[in-house]
């Protein structure tokens, strides 16, 4: 690039030297020394003539050139690094723990329970019912009598007896242990770098002026350009990282464990047993019975009545009559050997005794008898005919109703209750506690820091300065103006920052807790209840109604009455008695021990590796181009004059042609 600039400057210098011999009035088109107007006048010697002359103009043209540059980029490379680590592994150990349990032993016993039952006893009774019968027409009727019978119905019922049992429930709990870990966090940041670029803006202008033409005089100059380069400087640093290690310290402790033993206490109680007895209550009720009575209307009539007359007829009949007489006879009493001499009387032990004996006799005798012989006769008998006119009547009938009234009674039944009384006891238990004591440790960590150090550099730039020497001319000139416009630009630079961020972590530790939870249990007990159910029954009662002559009669009606007779019964009721038997048990209690385990872990460390990256830069290089431009110039035309008029010393031969 320097070579191109030197060639351009050398060409501009040669052009300036070649043009220095021409006069400014003729723009270097013709050269004449000095025309003195002594030989001839200007009107005679010279005439102005316009001619076109090709003028060489130099123009600076910017040519685009591309060249390759290199910039340093930093590439992140992950390098594996081996680190020694320690982790604490929880290890479960077991120890034997002896404890005493009261085990309930249930014993079944039988007790005799007396209870009273009301037993229904049916009694048949009679009552006299007065009723009216109309003679001579008898009508037999039946009616339904509704009565209520209490029928015992045995119902089996169950009741639930609630009792409480202490049940051990093991509950697994977790607790959170918080610890802090420093975690590297890489953050990518960007920053804006502001820089200024001069951008050329070309503007084409024209003007018709009397102008001064400046002759270009090119001068080569150099200037120092100061620029800043960010140079990476790697610095190895060490820092002390304080971290906390939980160091297990085993401490033997003793604690008093208060535990509750359920001690059985037998207590005799009485429970009130309520039962229902159906008690018969007789209630006298009245009801209105609607009945129809036929009123007799009497009418006298005559009819032939055949009647029988018994006439006595006397006759004799032989009858056997049973008769007899008393006789005195000798009868043997007893044997002498059968008598006891000490107790027997001599008068009572006579072998022959005289007794009176009845001797029956059958004899026949004549008896006078009368027999009645029936003889049928006829006679006219007046009779009254009774016409029955129906009449509705109401009578109040009184009757008894047996109503079974339920009566609640109470009886006290003694029973034994095994009551588990909690008794607080204390036992001393030795256990080990793993206490994690925080220990502050310091480790030295070596790391590399890349610092971008700004370095001021100076480069020399050679440029050509064109000095324009003013020359007065007249022309219509088109020219381009180059304005260097400053343009502010921003480029983004990306860099990575590493921060150590503290992260709180939580790990869960699991342990078991034993709780004695009271559990409600229910057992079902079956018992029988006697319930008196009312049953409506109907029986048919037959009675006779007289349509003719009302006649008052009395009939006996049989009915049954239920009496509840109390009867005492005995039954054997089984019940259970709980005895608490002490039993020694051994259980294995788990406990957790933290055991340090050393292991090796490979982590990825990030390093920045410098790398040269080529990139192409396009630059505009100034270049001087010579151009032939036609220019109209006023040139004097010299006419030939007489030789005598010219001075040889003053006139040039070319001018006196």
Alpha helices, DSSP H only, in 58-207? none
pLDDT at 13: 62
CA distances from 392 to 3, 132, 289, 548, 550 (A): 163, 15, 11, 17, 16
Of 4-18, 75-89, 201-215, 244-258, the poorest mean pLDDT is in: 4-18
Domain boundaries, given as residue ranges, for the chain: 1-31+46-67+619-657, 68-487+531-611
**Is 177:504 a contact under the CB 8 Å cutoff?**
no
pLDDT at 66 over 80: yes
Kindly state the average pLDDT of the residues 293-319: 82
- What are phi and psi for residue 424, nearest 5 degrees? -80, 125
Give pLDDT tens digits for 163-192.
777 777 878 888 787 878 777 787 888 878
Of the spans 46-50, 326-330, 540-544, which averages the highest pLDDT? 326-330
User: Up-side HSE of residue 218: CA atoms within 13 Å toward CB?
Assistant: 23
pTM: 0.21
Q: What percent of the chain has pLDDT over 70?
A: 84
Instruction: Report pLDDT digits (tens) over 377-436.
Output: 888 888 887 777 888 888 888 888 888 888 888 888 888 877 788 888 888 888 887 778
Among residues of the chain, what percentage have pLDDT more than 90?
A: 0
* pLDDT score, position 175: 79
pLDDT for the residue 350: 59
**Could you count the other beta carbons within 10 Å of the beta carbon of residue 564?**
19
Helix, strand, or coil here: 529? strand
Q: What's the CA dihedral at 459, 460, 462, 467 to 10 degrees?
A: 120
Contacts 24+ apart (CB under 8 A), 407-412: 407/276, 407/277, 407/278, 407/279, 408/274, 408/275, 408/276, 409/274, 409/275, 409/276, 409/277, 410/272, 410/273, 410/274, 411/115, 411/272, 411/273, 411/275, 412/270, 412/271, 412/272, 412/273
User: Any bridge partners for residue 304, and if so which?
Assistant: 380
- What pairs with residue 332 in β-bridges? 352
Residue 302: pLDDT over 60: yes
- Given a contact cutoff of 8 angstroms between Cβ atoms, the answer to whether 551 and 132 are in contact is yes
Question: For residue 651, is pLDDT > 80?
Answer: no
Average pLDDT of every residue of the chain = 76
In this predicted structure, the answer to whether residue 318 has a pLDDT above a threshold of 60 is yes
- pLDDT of 492 over the 60 cut: yes
C-alpha–C-alpha distance, residues 202 and 627, integer Å: 19
Spatial separation of the C-alpha atoms in residues 517 and 164, rounded to whole Å: 10
Per-residue b or e along 48-77, where b marks 16 or more CB atoms closer than 10 Å to that residue's CB = eeeeeeeeeebeeeeeeeeeeeeeeeeeee
Whether the predicted pLDDT of 38 surpasses 70: no
Which of 26-40, 45-59, 428-442, 488-502 has the lowest average pLDDT?
26-40
CB proximity list for 204: less than 8 A, separation 6 or greater = 478, 479, 480, 481
Note whether 143 and 608 are within 8 A (CB): no
Burial class of residue 294 (count of CB atoms within 10 Å of its CB; 0-12, 13-18, 19+): middle
Determine the length of the chain.
657
Instruction: Please give the DSSP secondary-structure letter assigned to residue 640.
Output: P
Q: Using only the alpha carbons of the chain, give its radius of gyration.
A: 80
Quick check: bond before 351 cis, omega within 30?
Answer: no
- Output the six-digit token pair for 510: 């699991």
347: tokens are 């008068």
Q: For residues 219 and 213, what is the distance between their CA atoms, to the nearest angstrom?
A: 18
In angstroms, the Cα distances linking 637 to 24, 102, 219, 656 are 18, 153, 38, 11
Q: What is the model's pLDDT at position 647?
A: 46
State the pairing for strand pair 352-546/46-135. Answer: unpaired
Region of 649 (left: φ > 0; alpha: ψ -120 to 50; beta: rest) is alpha
- The confidence score (pLDDT) of residue 32 equals 40
pLDDT of 650 above 60: no
> How confident is the model over 206-257, as pLDDT tens digits?
867 677 767 778 888 887 888 887 788 888 888 888 888 778 888 888 888 8
| Predicted pLDDT at 40 | 46
pLDDT tens for 549-605 read: 777 888 787 888 777 788 888 888 788 877 888 888 888 888 888 788 888 888 888
Chain centroid, CA 629 distance in Å:
97
- 436 has which bridge partners? 248
Which residues have CB under 8 Å from 539's CB, separation 6+?
A: 144, 145, 147
pLDDT-wise least confident of 42-51, 233-242, 390-399, 490-499 = 42-51
CA distance 306 to 376: 6
* Separation of alpha carbons 544 and 553, rounded Å: 10
Which pLDDT belongs to residue 342?
55
For position 25, what pLDDT does the model report?
40
Q: Is the pLDDT of residue 60 over 50?
A: yes
Report d(CA 279, CA 120) in Å as an integer.
11
Please give the distance of CA 259 from its chain centroid, rounded to a whole number. Answer: 36
């Amino acid at each position: 690039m320097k070579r191109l600039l030197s060639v351009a400057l050398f060409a501009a210098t040669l052009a300036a030297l070649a043009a220095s011999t021409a006069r400014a009035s003729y723009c270097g088109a013709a050269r004449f020394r000095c025309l003195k107007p002594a030989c001839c006048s200007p009107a005679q010697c010279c005439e102005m003539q316009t001619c076109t002359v090709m003028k060489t103009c130099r123009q600076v043209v910017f040519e685009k050139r591309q060249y390759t540059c290199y910039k340093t980029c930093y590439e992140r490379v992950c390098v594996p690094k081996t680190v020694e680590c320690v982790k604490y592994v929880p290890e479960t150990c077991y120890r034997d723990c002896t404890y005493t349990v009261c085990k309930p032993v249930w014993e079944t016993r039988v007790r005799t329970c007396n209870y009273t039952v009301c037993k229904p006893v049916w009694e048949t009774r009679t009552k006299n019912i007065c009723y009216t019968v109309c003679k001579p027409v008898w009508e037999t009727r039946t009616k339904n009598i509704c009565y209520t019978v209490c029928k015992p119905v045995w119902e089996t019922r169950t009741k639930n007896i609630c009792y409480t049992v202490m049940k051990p429930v093991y509950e697994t709990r977790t607790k959170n242990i918080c610890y802090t870990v420093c975690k590297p966090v890489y953050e990518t940041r960007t920053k804006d770098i502001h820089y200024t670029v001069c951008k050329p803006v070309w503007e084409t202008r024209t003007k018709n002026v009397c102008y001064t033409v400046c002759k270009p005089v090119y001068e080569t100059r150099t200037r120092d350009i100061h620029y800043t380069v960010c140079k990476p400087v790697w610095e190895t640093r060490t820092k002390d990282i304080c971290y906390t290690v939980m160091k297990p310290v085993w401490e033997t402790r003793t604690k008093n464990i208060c535990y509750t033993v359920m001690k059985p206490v037998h207590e005799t109680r009485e429970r009130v047993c309520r039962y229902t007895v159906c008690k018969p209550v007789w209630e006298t009720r009245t009801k209105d019975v609607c009945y129809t009575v036929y009123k007799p209307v009497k009418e006298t009539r005559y009819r032939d009545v055949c009647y029988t007359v018994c006439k006595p007829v006397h006759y004799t009949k032989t009858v056997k009559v049973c008769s007899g007489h008393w006789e005195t006879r000798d009868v043997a009493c007893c044997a002498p050997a059968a008598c006891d001499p000490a107790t027997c009387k001599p008068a009572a032990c006579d072998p022959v005794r005289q007794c009176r004996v009845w001797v029956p006799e059958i004899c026949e005798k004549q008896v006078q008898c009368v027999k009645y012989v029936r003889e049928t006769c006829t006679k006219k008998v007046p009779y009254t005919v009774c016409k029955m006119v129906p009449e509705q009547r109401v009578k109040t009938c009184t009757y008894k109703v047996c109503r079974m009234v339920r009566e609640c009674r109470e009886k006290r039944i003694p029973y034994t209750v095994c009551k588990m009384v909690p008794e607080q006891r204390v036992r001393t238990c030795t256990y080990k506690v793993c206490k994690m004591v925080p220990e502050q440790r310091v480790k030295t960590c070596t790391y590399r820091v890349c610092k971008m150090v700004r370095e001021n550099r100076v480069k020399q730039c050679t440029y050509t300065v064109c000095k324009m020497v003013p020359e007065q001319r007249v022309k219509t000139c088109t020219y381009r103006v180059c304005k260097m416009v400053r343009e502010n630009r921003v480029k983004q630079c990306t860099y990575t920052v590493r921060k150590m961020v503290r992260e709180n972590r939580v790990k869960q530790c699991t342990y078991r807790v034993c709780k004695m939870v009271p559990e409600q249990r229910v057992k079902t007990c079956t018992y029988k209840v006697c319930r008196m159910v009312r049953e409506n029954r109907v029986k048919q009662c037959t009675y006779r109604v007289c349509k003719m002559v009302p006649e008052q009669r009395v009939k006996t009606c049989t009915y049954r009455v239920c009496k509840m007779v109390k009867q005492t019964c005995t039954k054997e009721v089984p019940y259970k008695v709980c005895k608490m038997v002490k039993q020694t048990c051994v259980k294995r209690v788990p406990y957790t021990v933290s055991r340090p385990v050393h292991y090796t872990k490979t982590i990825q460390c990030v390093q920045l590796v410098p790398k040269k990256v080529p990139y192409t830069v396009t630059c505009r290089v100034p270049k001087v181009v010579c151009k032939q431009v036609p220019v109209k110039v006023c040139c004097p035309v010299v006419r030939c004059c007489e030789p005598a008029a010219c001075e040889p010393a003053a006139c040039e031969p070319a001018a006196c042609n």
